[in-house]
Amino acid sequence: MANQSKLQTATFVVISTDNLKRGLVKEMGDLAVRLRRTNFADFAQAFCGRQFNGTKATLYQLRRHVSWMKSHGVLKVAAKAKAAKAGAR
C-alpha cells in the first residue's frame, strides 16, 4: 500500500457513458453508474480475475481502463467535479 498512485486513491463520479459500447470498459461504466461515486478498489473487487474476451482482467488492465475513462470524459475525480459544479453557479 506504500506505492499507490493518485488514480488508485481517488474517488470518481460518472460524467458520460455515451461512448462506451462493449466489453470490460462498458461493464466498468455500468458499475460506476450504479454506484454513483466509486473508487479503484470498487472496480478491483468487482472485476479482478473475471474473464473478458478470453483473458482475465488484471489490476494493471483495470488501472489502464480507469485512466482511459478519466481522459475520455467518462469519469471525473470527485473533488474536481464538485469544484467545477460550484464554479458553474
Q: Whole-angstrom Cα distance, residue 37 to residue 11?
A: 7
Domain regions of the chain by residue span = 6-87
Q: For the segment 40-67, what is each residue's pLDDT rounded down to a tens digit? A: 888 888 888 888 888 888 888 888 888 8
Q: What's the pLDDT at 3? A: 54
Edge to edge, the sheet with strand 37-39 lists: 37-39, 11-14, 75-77
How many of the other CB atoms lie within 10 Å of CB of 53? 8
Alpha-carbon span 58 to 25, nearest angstrom: 13
Global pTM value: 0.75
